[in-house]
Structure 1
Amino acid sequence: MRYRSRAVTGLALLASSFVASAPALADGEVNIYSYRQPYLIQPLLDAFTADTGIKTNVIFASKGLSERIATEGANSPADVMMTVDIGRLDAAVQLGITAPIASETISENIPAQFRDPVGHWIGLTSRARVVYASKERVDQDTITYEELADPKWRGRICTRSGQHVYTLGLIASMIAHHGEEKTEEWLIGLRDNLARKPAGNDRAQVKSVYAGECDISLGNTYYMGKMETNDKEPEQKEWAASVRLIFPNAEGRGTHVNLSGVVLSKNAPNRNNAIALIEYLTSPKAQEIYADSNFEYPVTPGVPVSERVKSWGVLKPDSMPLSDIAKFRKAASEMVDRVAFDDGPAS
């Protein structure tokens, strides 16, 4: 039996969907729990089914999937879980819901820096944490993360919550490079340079630059593509046109990147099909589909970025393994609270 959910956003609804339909255990299927919205991954899944004959069944939720798999235990129908951010991938491992993947195909396709050293998670695409700069009010075309604490930016920076996974990833990378003491000094300087309390998503920060509330903001690269092509909300095209992307630390260690990725469920009922899916998602064909449809960077070497992404400039990614950065996420979260980052510059 096949089950599918298009917009399940709460655990209660997610639970009821399993009561209403039995898990798919047929040889020709694979069951996917996804934090990634179905429309983002459907082109990939359709191509996988066309090439392999294996059906894909998707449950989508915005939160709680890792905990759901842990609660379901040995009876979980989940074969794989797709998510974003190294923090969520690492959290799944810490919950004990994943199994290591031993695959020569995956090892050949995905560089070691984008894989868990033991194989518990696999990166599928990357996105860079960049600066969105006003075309009218910012002249420079280079910047570093460290510079964001410079007083010259006082009252000119917008960002989302310090406790959001994207922000924690950046702070954790700063700790990995500079240690906790220097990173805390930096975070205080960044806090004091904020134009307002952190609030909203990455697109909201660009809207604030467009409105003149701040001059630069922090955001993921793919949001530029989402705004530039948003025909349903054309005002977002105006926001995007008001800014340009600057890749921090491009002349040094490189720009901080994060991942979308996948894990194999420890109790996967369709294990072979699950591994086949993960191998497929790391293939050049699938990586190119991802790159074209989601404005993200392929992690399989040799796969080109889309023309739109290429137009934003050249990405030199930080080469530090994300598994090393993930170790400092707890320290990053504690630091955000300690300096009252989310209280804004008045704190």
Structure 2
Amino acid sequence: MTQTTKALLIGATALTAIASSAYAEGELNLYSSRHYDTDERLYSDFTDMTGITINRIEGNADELIARMEAEGANSPADILLTVDTSRLERAKEAGVLQSIDSAVLETRIPEALQDDDNQWFGFSQRARIIFYDKADVTDPPMSYVDLADPAYEGMVCHRSSTNVYSQTLVSAIIENHGTDAATSWAEGFVSNFARDPQGGDTDQLRGLVSGECDISISNTYYFARALRKDVDGLNAEALDNIGWVFPAQNAEGAHMNLSGGGVAANAPNRDNAIAFLEYLASDQAQEYFSAGNDEYPAVAGVGLSPSVAALGLFRPDAVDLSEVAKNVPEAQAIFNQVGWE
């Protein structure tokens, strides 16, 4: 039984209890696909500040969205938290989120990191950047476009096309460069694969250590986490041999993956839900996204943890992520066309 299945079974057992208390004063029913133990601090601090108890169901984002659809008007969910813009947009399209008015969120969260209809807001980010073996690569690619250069044939490791990080990266390339350019890029990129797409981002970094690949792409927080604490296969010696590039610094900037959430369409505790999202935009919560999970805050000017700051300064892509999310179906068509498994 997978961890996702376990979480959903636990959620199903808890659902009756949550539903019975859904209309209780001082409660918040949270559906979350963020699977980080460090988020416990976010929840406990919110409860300490407000007295609002958080009832939580965790699981795979797509399954949680499907559950909310099935529950319909009877859903006890107040908040959906998930990772990646494409999933947030999927929830919006499924009709399980609602638009809200919040001067706090409108002011604190940059416009590019929120839905056009205020149905979802981003609260933390990860830059998707290029990592490379310093011993084997003396002239690393400096942009996403460069990754399709034949000079890097047989050197690149990446995740599968079914992964949302792959989908939103190509969706951003479509938004920034157009469909034809994105298709040509994907053809060259796939030609440079050192192995069949596999594993998670940490596995792409481990591929550099094992020698399976010389170049990989990963979200920054996986590498920053290894700087902060022990991660299997990524000891201090291994990390010293890995270099990194924030791509496209003379063009669009580094692609950013978003973690965010929105108020459920049938939220029984709507005011509490809005209060929780506003709390996630506070300096206190924003600092903890960085300190607890090695992410970049969504709110400008919030301090970074040492592990994140160690990666250096860079210019992020300022593209509207709401628009990027709409390109996912087109990205999937490109995957099929170029044979990106």
Query: Counterpart of 2:119?
Result: 120
Query: Counterpart of 2:296?
Result: 297
SS in structure 2 opposite 1:181?
helix
Query: Counterpart of 1:3?
Result: none
In the TM superposition, residue 227 of structure 1 has moved relative to its aligned partner by 2.4
Structure 2 residue 207 is matched with structure 1 residue 217: no
- Picking from 11, 15, 20, the partner of 1:18 is 15
Which digits, 9 at most, give the CA deviation of each residue in 1:204-258, with x for residues without a partner?
Answer: 1111111111111011000012223343x54322543431221000122211101
- The answer to whether the 8 A contact 2:176-2:252 is kept is no
SS in structure 2 opposite 1:235?
coil
Which runs of structure 2 are paired with 1:236-275 in the superposition (5 Å)?
Answer: 236-238=234-236, 239-275=238-274
Query: Counterpart of 1:48?
Result: 46
In the TM superposition, residue 128 of structure 1 has moved relative to its aligned partner by 0.7
In the TM superposition, residue 201 of structure 1 has moved relative to its aligned partner by 0.6
- Compared CA separation, residues 27 and 7, structure 1 to 2 (3 A): farther
SS in structure 2 opposite 1:96?
coil
Structure 1: distance between partners of 2:141 and 2:190? 21
Q: Which runs of 5+ in 2 are unaligned?
A: none
- Compared CA separation, residues 18 and 266, structure 1 to 2 (3 A): same
SS in structure 2 opposite 1:16?
helix
In the TM superposition, residue 310 of structure 1 has moved relative to its aligned partner by 1.0
Structure 2: distance between partners of 1:20 and 1:99? 24
SS in structure 2 opposite 1:228?
helix
SS in structure 1 opposite 2:235?
helix
Query: Counterpart of 2:97?
Result: 98
TM score, norm. by length of structure 1? 0.92
Query: Counterpart of 1:226?
Result: 225
Structure 2 residue 286 is matched with structure 1 residue 287: yes
In the TM superposition, residue 10 of structure 1 has moved relative to its aligned partner by 5.9
User: Superposition RMSD on alpha carbons, in Å?
Assistant: 1.7
Structure 2: distance between partners of 1:9 and 1:328? 32
Structure 1: distance between partners of 2:252 and 2:117? 26
- Compared CA separation, residues 78 and 23, structure 1 to 2 (3 A): farther
Structure 1: distance between partners of 2:325 and 2:6? 26
For these two proteins, the number of residue pairs brought into alignment is: 336
- The answer to whether the 8 A contact 1:83-1:262 is kept is yes
Structure 1: distance between partners of 2:200 and 2:121? 26
Which digits, 9 at most, give the CA deviation of each residue in 1:56-95, with x for residues without a partner?
Answer: 1111112400110110011111100100000000000000
Query: Counterpart of 2:135?
Result: 136
- The answer to whether the 8 A contact 1:38-1:58 is kept is no
Structure 2: distance between partners of 1:240 and 1:54? 42
Structure 1: distance between partners of 2:308 and 2:149? 29
- Compared CA separation, residues 143 and 321, structure 1 to 2 (3 A): same
Q: Work out the percentage of aligned pairs sharing the same amino acid.
A: 37
Q: Which runs of 5+ in 1 are unaligned?
A: 1-5, 343-347
Structure 2 residue 35 is matched with structure 1 residue 33: no
Structure 2: distance between partners of 1:49 and 1:142? 46
Query: Counterpart of 2:191?
Result: 192
Structure 2: distance between partners of 1:141 and 1:307? 25
In the TM superposition, residue 21 of structure 1 has moved relative to its aligned partner by 5.5
In the TM superposition, residue 327 of structure 1 has moved relative to its aligned partner by 1.4
Structure 2: distance between partners of 1:38 and 1:234? 17
Structure 2: distance between partners of 1:21 and 1:84? 23
